[in-house]
């Protein structure tokens, strides 16, 4: 799992291994991540999930071996 910007700051690393014991949806995976890292929970509605390099919808499947990225909104100038 890759974490960018504020998600990386909260998790404490830009890359971590997340073991899936069963297939799940992108939304279920994000819920699991927020349970492990509760400071991430307030940002849950605005975090996008990418699976294998493509933005995913909340109901899209995630299986073991997929590369998942947490992409919070980013502002810049």
Q: Is the pLDDT of residue 43 over 70?
A: yes
The predicted model gives 41-55 an average pLDDT of 95
The string of pLDDT tens digits covering residues 10-24 is 999 999 999 988 899
Asked whether the beta carbons of 75 and 10 are under 8 A apart, the reply is: no
Report the distance separating Cα 22 and Cα 38, nearest Å.
22
pLDDT above 70 (res 77): no
75 pLDDT more than 90: no
CATH of 2-71, one of 3.20.20.70, 3.10.20.30, 3.40.50.300, 3.20.20.80: 3.10.20.30
Q: Do 7 and 70 meet the contact criterion of CB atoms below 8 Å apart?
A: yes
Edge-to-edge strand order for the sheet containing 2-3?
A: 2-3, 68-71, 48-51, 54-55
pTM of the entire predicted model: 0.89
Return the number of other C-beta atoms located less than 10 Å from residue 44's C-beta. 13
């Amino acid at each position: 799992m890759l974490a960018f910007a504020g998600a990386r700051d909260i998790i404490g690393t830009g890359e971590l291994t997340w073991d899936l014991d069963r297939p799940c949806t992108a939304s279920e995976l994000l819920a699991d991540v927020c349970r492990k890292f509760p400071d991430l929970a307030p940002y849950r509605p605005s975090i996008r999930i990418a699976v294998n390099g493509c933005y995913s919808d909340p109901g899209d499947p995630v299986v073991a071996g997929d590369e998942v990225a947490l992409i919070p909104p980013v502002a810049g100038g």
